[in-house]
Amino acid sequence: MKEQLLARINDRTATVGVIGLGYVGLPLAVEFARAGFHVIGFDVSQKVCDTLNGGTSHIQDVPSAEVAAFVASGHFRATTEASDLASADALTIAVPTPLVKTHDPDMSYVQAAAATVAQVAHPGLLVVLESTTYPGTTREVVLPLLTSAGYMVGEDIFVAFSPERVDPGNPVYNTHNTPKVVGGITANCTELATALYASCIETIVPVSSTEVAELVKLLENTFRSVNIAMANEMAIVCDKLGVDVWEVIDAAATKPFGFMKFTPGPGIGGHCIPLDPHYLAWKMRTLNYRTRFIELAGEINTAMPAYVVEKVAHALNGIRKPVNGSSVLILGVAYKRDIDDVRESPALDVIRLLESHGAIVTYHDPYIATVRDESDSHDGPAAGEPPRLRHSVPLTPATLSEADVVVIVTDHRSIDYQAVVDNAALVVDTRNATATVRPSRASIVALSGRASSSS
């Protein structure tokens, strides 16, 4: 079975199925299609499938022209019918792995995807889980559904884990040139998964097990979470000392060894960094160990939106205005610059907290026209009531001058920050976006240390 599948991978006659066509799955499907495979993309959303089959991409990093070309050539099609996956020689699972309110992993999407795979499984099938999760998921959740059907792993069916490393909006690193870690249940599983990904990704990094591969992703993002928390706490320290944290960090970054630059901000967002450390912490709690360092970093990062709101309140107090009744314009609601993704964005927490204090909040984001507001109360909208939509307002001299305070939460490069300070009366800058603008009308309050008065 291994040799037959390996031959089909090498000569590109294998059919590849991708389960989940979001930020991870669609770019991966496009890479497989570009490599010459026939790709079946599966998603539970009929709208997503219809859009893709019509040649239009819903993911910012995947051009519609590429999707249209692969659909036209027959190398890619999207479907909501699980039975269509039965013809696949390899299946990758790239579905969400959110957390429940208690910060325990919600494995329902992975379990549903694995159950779908089990329904269409056949001898000679390679299954690779890419969804970020706790160590042991592949072996404990995915594998039993396949072995219970009588398949022998490593002989007539092959199972591996390969963590997604997608960085939306990154102009340098994408799915093709980001090294791919691969770990199989057996050596044969690793060999086949390595061959599959080597067909379309530049560098493959095989590891000894699925658990190692699962832990690699958690280490990567826990490392980032902890270091961002250190930068955030340093911002608070510098603020209390009256020192510009950005100047401190830039000076420290001149050291050519022993220091890696991380910067503070209003909090952390996206699907990975706010969530991944919790997978590891949860797994360790099941083993009677508390990851105190990781949990502390999470507490610091989670508290940053409240710190930003406190800065806004102090800034308004400085001009003799309360938060209650003040108009606040938020610049940027995406979780990071130059993307259209609001998942776990700290901007949403900043908006919610400001409104809980009575502020009248609007936002502008060049990438996000509307945001679903699911935080009208602590538990979200009332039962039976749909979440209301927030709409991005135009960024004009009028909208800037009419706001009592403008808060820069996400520093999109396309925003003219000189125009912001030329027209706004008060700016709270959480990203150091105004560091190089000329002094103008606005009073600028930084995340820590730096403040300037209007000229």
pLDDT tens string for the chain (455 positions)?
999 999 999 999 999 999 999 999 999 999 999 999 999 999 999 999 999 999 999 999 999 999 999 999 999 999 999 999 999 999 999 999 988 877 788 999 999 999 999 999 999 999 999 999 999 999 999 999 999 888 999 999 999 999 999 898 899 999 999 999 999 999 999 999 999 999 999 999 999 999 999 999 999 999 999 999 999 999 999 999 999 999 999 999 999 999 999 999 999 998 888 888 999 999 999 999 999 999 999 999 999 999 999 999 999 999 999 999 999 999 999 999 999 999 999 999 999 999 999 999 999 999 999 998 755 443 444 455 667 799 999 999 999 999 999 999 999 999 999 999 999 999 999 999 999 999 887 899 998 865 555 44
Q: Residue 242: inside a domain, yes or no?
A: no
Residues 153, 298 within the same domain: no
pLDDT of residue 56: 98
The residue out of 162, 191, 209 marking a domain boundary is 209
Q: Same domain, yes or no, for 281 and 174?
A: no
255 domain-assigned: no
Q: Are residue 201 and residue 297 in the same domain, yes or no?
A: no
Angstrom CA distances, 65 to 40, 70, 196, stand at: 18, 9, 25
Domain's final residue, options 209, 224, 248: 209
Co-location of 332 and 196 in the same domain: no
Q: Is residue 398 part of a domain?
A: yes
pTM score = 0.91
Whether 272 is catalytic: yes
Nearest to 441 by CA among 313, 319, 312: 319
- Which domain range does residue 147 map to? 2-209
Q: How far apart are CA 203 and CA 8, in angstroms?
A: 21
Asked if residue 200 and residue 298 are part of one domain, the reply reads no
Q: Is 226 within the bounds of a domain?
A: no
Residue 444, CA distances (Å) to 5, 244, 424, 437 in order: 62, 13, 10, 11
Same domain flag for 175 and 280: no
Is 172 part of a structural domain of the chain?
A: yes
pLDDT of residue 387: 72
- CA dist list (Å): 90 to 97, 178, 317: 21, 21, 60
Are 179 and 283 in the same domain?
Answer: no
Task: Report d(CA 387, CA 149) in Å as an integer.
Answer: 42
Distance, CA of 321 to CA of 319 (rounded, Å): 6
Task: Specify the length of the chain in residues.
Answer: 455
**d(C-alpha 283, C-alpha 188), whole Å:** 27
Based on the domain organization, do 205 and 284 belong to the same domain? no
Claim to verify: residue 281 and residue 204 sit in the same structural domain? no
228 located within any domain:
no
| Per-residue confidence (pLDDT) for residue 193, from 0 to 100 | 98
Whether residue 254 is contained in a domain is answered as no
Q: How far apart are the first and last CA of the chain?
A: 75
* 313/443 same-domain check: yes
Tell me if 240 is assigned to some domain: no
Q: How many domains does the chain have?
A: 2
Cα 336 to Cα 55, 167, 362: the distances in Å are 27, 10, 18
b/e map of 247-286 (b: 16 or more CB within 10 Å)?
ebbeeeeeeeeeeeebbbbbbbbbbbbbbbbbbbbbbbee
d(C-alpha 345, C-alpha 347), whole Å: 5
From 189, 200, 238, 272, active-site residue: 272
> Any idea what the CATH number is for the domain that residue 407 is in?
3.40.50.720
Using the 3D structure, point to which of 209, 225, 251 is the last residue of a domain.
209
Residues 304 and 413 in one domain: yes
Q: Which pLDDT does position 405 carry in this prediction?
A: 98
